[in-house]
């Protein structure tokens, strides 16, 4: 459906607010929420499809209003046109403050602007891009590929989700801290105290979002009991090691004028307070670990179920094998780029993002916004809207992103495809994430077939800070013939 038609439908339905599930005084829609707690993303998607404006208003416990939208016009309004009115807000910042502090993904206003300015400068340097590419290649060819070769030789079953998380964690720690936790090894996935604490902190922090009432987790934190005690212990370990790495990096500081590589060194050179640096780098580790590993897990699952797409990618790869691939070589892989884009349309690493209204407002579809309301846009639901993608919206179809005449990748409006956010807070690492993912896919598909271990396996998308596959993704690895490698 083209944008003009979308706008006409939006104007026609303007102000037709869909109230969502049945609500009760004080309780709001809590009973419906509890009934669908195991499938929140799918439930919200169903509600948004029923709404004539692709927007719903949920009444939460205690009379809190939450607006959720899959309407691109609303997304543009929230993320760009009225950006100052929709900060992360106190609700979101408070939930993640213990773990992420004042880091870039958990800050608003001037602190956010300052951190983003420095980060953008770092991300745009050729030296950092080369360093990241080198780190990924080193990890790929000395650890990931040997591990998969061994699995193929011994007919082992691997949890690919675990493997990719360990791979991504080693990569991002090298890029962020200049330090290798060595989670991925040819013989096994090694236990890392830092990785284990980091995973625990991320998981337990995300559970705060799902609390029916904020006071419940705050009470547990006050008395240091239950999940909040576990969270505190995990965060203490993460922050303790982060400070240790910062102090170690300070001690080995290079003379002025010598170009540094990792993000930590770049932030230290900018003269930022040590605690702020710690928070920034932890934010980057969180983003770099979870998003690429989640995206690749779902991508390889989709490929295993769509062999014709896998064959088309193999054909496009040609003689490339992932070794010493330049950025131009990677950019030329249009079908692969479209395939990853399409995978993330259906299974976005971050399924929902929430802001808080600083003032009263009215969204373009007529939805009234109260001051203090939580306002969310929902990439998972947006990827499943017939109004946005047509009748084949459920199909994994990379061709929808390609020009029919020349086969070049054609992006769409970022407010329709908000997987990487949009507007001033658009993801800074988007380009580098694609370079990493495409490098990994080329190297693995050139050498292996990745097959689902259990023919009865049903992949379930579970909600957290990032999307995961419930119970992991068990696969068998098969080596490709030498003809494909030639």
* Binding residue ranges for heme: 427
Determine contact, residues 155/476, Cβ cutoff 8 Å. Answer: yes
Rounded-to-integer distance, Cα 202 and Cα 70, Å? 26
Contact present, 339 and 399 (Cβ < 8 Å) = no
The binding site consists of 427
Interhelix angle 160-177/274-305, nearest 10 degrees? 150
The partner residues of 24 in beta bridges, in order of sequence, read 28
Q: Within 13 Å, how many C-alpha atoms sit on residue 241's CB side?
A: 18
Residue among 164, 115, 142 at smallest CA distance from 263: 115
Structure tokens at 239: 């922050």
Sheet with 157-159, strands from edge to edge, namely 157-159, 474-479, 448-452
Strands (E), 54-184: 55-59, 65-69, 157-159
Strand ranges (DSSP E) for 295-445? 353-356, 361-362, 368-369, 374-377
Q: Name the helix (H) or strand (E) containing 389.
A: helix 386-389
Q: Could you tell me where the beta strands, DSSP code E, fall in 201-291?
A: none
In Å, what is the CA distance from 467 to each residue of 329, 348, 415?
A: 30, 7, 20
**By C-alpha distance, which of 390, 380, 386, 370 is closest to 462?**
380
Neighbouring CB atoms inside 10 A of 95's CB total: 20
- Residues with Cβ within 8 Å of residue 382, at least 6 apart in sequence: 70, 72, 75, 388, 416, 417, 418
- Helix H or strand E encompassing 451: strand 448-452
**Class of residue 281 by CB neighbours under 10 A (exposed 0-12, middle 13-18, buried 19+):** buried
Q: Which residues contact 470 (CB under 8 A, 6 or more apart)?
A: 459, 460, 461, 462
From the number of C-beta atoms within 10 Å of its C-beta (0-12, 13-18, 19+), residue 485 rates as: exposed
């Amino acid at each position: 459906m083209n944008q003009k038609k979308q706008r006409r439908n939006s104007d026609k339905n303007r102000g037709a607010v869909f109230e969502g599930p049945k609500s009760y005084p004080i309780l709001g829609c809590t009973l419906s929420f509890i009934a669908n707690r195991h499938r929140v993303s799918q439930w919200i998607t169903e509600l948004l499809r029923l709404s004539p404006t692709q927007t719903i208003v949920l009444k939460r416990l205690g009379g809190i209003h939450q607006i959720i939208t899959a309407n691109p016009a609303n997304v543009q309004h929230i993320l760009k046109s009225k950006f100052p009115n929709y900060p992360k807000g106190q609700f979101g910042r408070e939930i993640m403050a213990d773990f992420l502090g004042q880091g870039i993904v958990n800050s608003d206003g001037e602190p956010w602007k300052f951190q983003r300015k420095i980060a953008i400068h770092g991300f745009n340097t050729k030296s950092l891009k080369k360093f990241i590419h080198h780190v990924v290649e080193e990890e790929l060819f000395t650890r990931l590929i040997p591990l998969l070769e061994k699995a193929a030789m011994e007919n082992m079953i691997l949890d690919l989700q675990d493997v990719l998380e360990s791979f991504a964690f080693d990569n991002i720690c090298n890029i962020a801290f200049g330090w290798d936790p060595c989670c991925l090894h040819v013989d096994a996935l090694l236990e890392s105290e830092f990785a284990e604490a980091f995973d625990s902190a991320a998981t337990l922090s995300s559970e705060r979002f799902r609390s029916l009432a904020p006071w419940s987790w705050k009470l547990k934190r006050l008395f240091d009991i239950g999940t909040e005690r576990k969270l505190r212990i995990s965060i203490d370990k993460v922050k303790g090691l982060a400070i240790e790495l910062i102090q170690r990096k300070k001690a080995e500081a290079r003379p002025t004028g010598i170009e540094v590589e990792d993000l930590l060194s770049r932030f230290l050179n900018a003269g930022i307070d040590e605690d702020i640096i710690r928070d920034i780098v932890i934010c980057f580790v969180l983003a770099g670990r979870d998003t690429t590993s989640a995206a690749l897990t779902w991508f390889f699952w989709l490929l295993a179920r769509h062999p014709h797409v896998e064959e088309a990618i193999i054909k496009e790869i040609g003689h490339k094998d992932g070794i010493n691939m330049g950025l131009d070589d990677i950019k030329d892989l249009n079908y692969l780029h479209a395939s990853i884009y399409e995978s993330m349309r259906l299974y976005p690493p971050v399924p929902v993002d929430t802001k808080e209204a600083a003032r009263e407002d009215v969204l373009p579809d007529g939805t009234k916004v109260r001051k203090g309301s939580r306002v969310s846009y929902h990439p998972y639901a947006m990827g499943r809207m017939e109004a946005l993608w047509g009748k084949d919206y459920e199909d994994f179809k990379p061709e929808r992103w390609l020009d029919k005449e020349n086969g070049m990748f054609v992006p769409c409006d970022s407010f329709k495809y908000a997987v990487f956010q949009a507007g001033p807070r658009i993801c800074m690492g988007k380009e580098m994430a694609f370079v990493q993912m495409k490098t990994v896919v080329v190297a693995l598909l050139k050498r292996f077939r990745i097959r689902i271990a259990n023919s009865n396996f049903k992949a379930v998308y579970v909600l957290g800070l990032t999307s995961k596959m419930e119970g992991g993704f068990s696969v068998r690895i098969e080596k490709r013939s030498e003809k494909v490698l030639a």
